[in-house]
Structure 1
Amino acid sequence: MTTPADLTILLQEGEGVTLEYKERVNDSFARELVAFANTAGGRILLGVQDDGTVRGIPDTNDLRARIQDIARKCDPPVKVLLERLGEVTVVTVRESAEKPVQCSDGFFWRLGAVSQKLSRNEIRDLFQQEGAIRFDHSICTRFSYPEDFDIDKFRNWLGKSSIYRGGAVEDILVNIEAAERSGGKLLFRNAGVLFFAKEPRRFFNQAYITCLLFKGTVKVHILDRKDFDGGIIADIEDALRFIERNTRTAYRIEKLQREDIPEYPMAALREAITNAVMHRDWFIEGANVFVEIFSDRIEVSSPGGLPKGMLVSDLGHKSVRRNPLIADLLHRIAYIEKAGTGIKRMRDGATTLGYPAPEFRSDSFFSAIFSPMPTSEKDDGSGETSMHPASTPQVPRKYPASTPQVVAILQAALYENRSRDELQNVSKLKDREYFRKNYLKPLLEDGLLEPMIPDKPRSPKQRYRTTAAGRALIKAAEEEER
């Protein structure tokens, strides 16, 4: 209830986000109603000029009926309360629980002291923020079943889940909410397309992960880049393999047992990449998830920042799921645990193994930043250094990163002697010095490759071949794949 004292204060305040002065009910009155309803509610003082001067307005039944009629014609109707204070009629507008609200002139919201018309993107954002629509639950009308459906991706997902495999494919798709039946057809939701489409990017151009390897600590020189767009599960796995082949691995020997020590906490990085895909704002079409490797850190970033109502300080204590259906499909195959545990799992996955805790940053992107295992460096006599965990006294040899690329290099030199350039082409790395330092040199040091002209290592005629140890590594990798 507004009192005379309140009115005096309101007249002194001036117009703002929750207050509007109007001399009379005119053509723009409906816009003011929906603007307040779409924002945080507010009050309209009828009979007051823009400068706060009270001119007054007659309190008639026709006026009250007209205001109520305008409010009812909004879609959905706007709730208003009418009060009379002296010569002023106070119209209190409730914030709508069914946003967005529109009038015949369109959608409006309150921006400062002005009621502003919403653009298409602002309307979409308002729908999304209020939970009126969710990207992952929306139907993808361009997807055609079964033509665009990848049965192998579905079977792979099903094999990772605990769902009974004897059911009909269509029944399972409906039960997990990846699709719904309508008019005798199977209509796929966007989440179902992201998981099970043959070509997800044909429907959503933002459905991919970009992985980048930079030289040094800034985004200037790119040593390696890959875009992965095979679907949510494949993209997560491919991004992890990219990290594995572009970071180092040390080892330590304890009680005659060898233990590999990755440069970064891989389980925590898996969690970060999964969370980036799951929580990203899929309505943003011009951006995608990034995994960026620098010499001193790895950054995993997803577009959209934190969901509405979340602060960086809330991380680990509060959970808001922007894409609940995507989260559910990941949870069913144990890629995530219960909601709200992702940040804790990232932190624990790093710190319990001796890695620094990840840092988190949020602006238009949400980023998780990982630091490498603290290491000591030992000069091997060549002017280069080898990584090994600082917590261990042993000095391990440098071990080649990237099993897939290492195997490809060794296979290339298995039956035919190869030049350095030929081996670099097989590795698909563009930077010659990076290839030499991180692949060719370690392979030679570990005895997996051998030079054909050992007494002239820099000869332009130098060729390399795979050793017995290299052949054993290839065999072990093949057995592991089986």
Structure 2
Amino acid sequence: MHITNEEELVSAVNKMRMAGTDLTEYELKSASGGIPKETAESISAFANSSGGVIVFGIRESGGFHAVDIDAKSVQAGAAQAARELVEPPQAVEILVLEFESKPVVVVNVSEAPVREKPCYVKKYGQINGSYIRTGDGDHRMSLYEIDRFTENQLRAARNDIAVAKEATTDDFDNGLLEGWFARVRATSFGRSATMSNEELMANRRVIDYDENGVARPTIAGLLSFAEYPQKYYPRLNVVFTSYPTSRKGETGPGGQRFSDTVNIDGPIPAMVVETVRAVSRNMKHGAIVKGALRENVPDYPLPAVREAVANALMHRDYSVEGQGTPVTVDLYPDRLEISNPGGLFGILTIEKLGTSGATASRNQFLSRILEDVPYADYDGRVGRVVENRGSGYPTINRELEEALMPNPISRSSLDGFQIVLRHRKMTEQEGKAYSKNNVEDAILAFLSERESASASEIARASGIGIKTIRGYISKLLDDGTLDAIGTRNSPKRRYRLSG
């Protein structure tokens, strides 16, 4: 958000007047006594955030009016602050515009490239001189935020291959490992196909060797294959919570704060499955009368939920500072929120999510390992935890689109990422009652897709009691529409379309 002319300046000031304060993207400074000493801090904050504008010559107190300044001196001071007082230097745009018949100096600060963050005030050093823009002010960054910026700058995060010093290879689930060995060898060419098991684990960083030469799991290896990684890292798990109202902490009609809450532990393959199951059992599955009796439609497409959970576990921050924070999955009456520590990594931005080629892995080794880990999904199908081809977010978008739901809302900051799925809108057919005719039509449609079916199978599909269904079947038998297979009182009796 930049200001390039008087009209845009007036519009920005009017917004601030309405709010009664500076805004996230604008910082007003009086500068009646010269360039303010905290100018470098503001440049650092905007460069480390999404960019912004510093306006010299307007005083916030008293109604946001222009004051007299030495525009030439302020202009020179702003240029010096941007070029000499911060590291790395920032190429700001400086304009002199008119407001209330007085000159004001506008400094447009662009967001710094990932490789140049954090931008910091030289005299304080990186640890004490790195700022970030929050609300209407400049705030000193925490060590955790600086570490995440440095990680992005180097583009080589390696927290996922830190050695789990207390763990041993006995912690591994041999079934998961054997499936992984088979998959890697079947899909790899060259050296990987002929390595011993230990060589393969070492080269893919499933294990590493401690100072005594003992092979131990890495964090990536532990989370991919250990029966219970939380023995060593208790918060590298998922916390699922279902809330009775749309606001966290607000109690429901019965005074309860949670409708359901559970800690989901185990390796990543197991956590993905159990989290999807927790979401599924706590959300509603609407019934639509459609063709072959009825179709259950969940509030959220489970494949989209699965991808979001898998992405959160794969791309979360596994640094020492982030290990105390779990992935959280919060189900509200109007939305589903999936959050993980650690924002988007590298050059990936919210705008690029879901576009062709948009992928950047914070945990490169973990991502590579999970490509080949076999597991039984929530629906019983055997698959892989991730594809690691940048397909996760497009899958989420596609599943939501097919369910006639809006795209997800994504939020990213230095210390966290969140994806929000908005509740499915109720369809016109949802909850539609069966009439005599459409039950008969639905039974016929159901049987047209099968060789035969029992009364109990038809009852389960319709959601109607078996006694009622038998009444409809009896009528269809009488008028010759259906044929029966088996004797009248046989529990194995089935029905099919006549002719």
* TM-score, normalised with respect to structure 2: 0.52
2:361 is aligned with 1:321: yes
Distance 1:248 1:143, change over 3 A: same
Offset from partner CA, 1:456-480 (integer Å, 9 cap, x none): xxxxxxxxxxxxxxxx9xxxxxxxx
Contact 2:312 2:340 in 1 (8 A): yes
- Provide the residue aligned with 1:260 in structure 2: 296
SS at match of 1:118: helix
2:48 is aligned with 1:19: no
Given the alignment, which residue of 121, 125, 147 partners 2:170? 147
- Provide the residue aligned with 2:337 in structure 1: 299
Offset from partner CA, 1:144-166 (integer Å, 9 cap, x none): 43333332443465577674899
Q: How does 1:192-211 map to 2 (within 5 A)?
A: 192-211=221-240
Letter in 1 for 2:422: S
CA distance in 1, matches of 2:438, 2:282: 24
Distance 1:137 1:295, change over 3 A: closer
Distance 1:171 1:222, change over 3 A: same
- Provide the residue aligned with 2:312 in structure 1: 276
Offset from partner CA, 1:406-465 (integer Å, 9 cap, x none): xxxxxxxxxxxxxxxxxxxxxxxxxxxxxxxxxxxx9xx8669xxxxxxxxxxxxxxxxx
Letter in 1 for 2:424: M
2:97 is aligned with 1:40: no
Letter in 2 for 1:142: K
Given the alignment, which residue of 235, 240, 263 partners 2:276? 240
SS at match of 1:230: coil
The CA deviation at 1:276 is 0.9
- Provide the residue aligned with 2:127 in structure 1: 118
2:262 is aligned with 1:226: yes
SS at match of 2:259: strand
Aligned length: 307
Letter in 1 for 2:151: Q
The CA deviation at 1:304 is 1.7
CA distance in 2, matches of 1:150, 1:236: 17
CA distance in 1, matches of 2:387, 2:196: 27
The CA deviation at 1:176 is 3.1
The CA deviation at 1:278 is 1.2
Letter in 2 for 1:322: R
- Larger RCO, structures 1/2 (Cα 8 Å, 6+ apart): 2
Contact 1:17 1:113 in 2 (8 A): no
The CA deviation at 1:122 is 6.7
Contact 2:236 2:326 in 1 (8 A): yes
- Provide the residue aligned with 1:355 in structure 2: 405
Contact 1:252 1:394 in 2 (8 A): no
CA distance in 2, matches of 1:365, 1:257: 44
CA distance in 2, matches of 1:303, 1:366: 6
Distance 1:163 1:124, change over 3 A: farther
Unaligned runs of at least 5 residues, structure 1: 1-7, 21-35, 43-96, 101-108, 379-385, 396-441, 449-471, 473-482
- Provide the residue aligned with 1:173 in structure 2: 201
- Provide the residue aligned with 1:369 in structure 2: 420
Given the alignment, which residue of 109, 130, 142 partners 2:153? 130
Contact 2:239 2:264 in 1 (8 A): yes
Unaligned runs of at least 5 residues, structure 2: 1-72, 91-113, 129-142, 188-192, 251-256, 374-383, 440-459, 467-490, 492-499
Which 4+ stretches in 1 moved above 6 angstroms? 8-11, 97-100, 159-162, 164-167
* TM-score, normalised with respect to structure 1: 0.54
Contact 2:160 2:318 in 1 (8 A): no
Distance 1:311 1:168, change over 3 A: closer
Letter in 2 for 1:200: P
The CA deviation at 1:388 is 6.9
SS at match of 1:344: helix
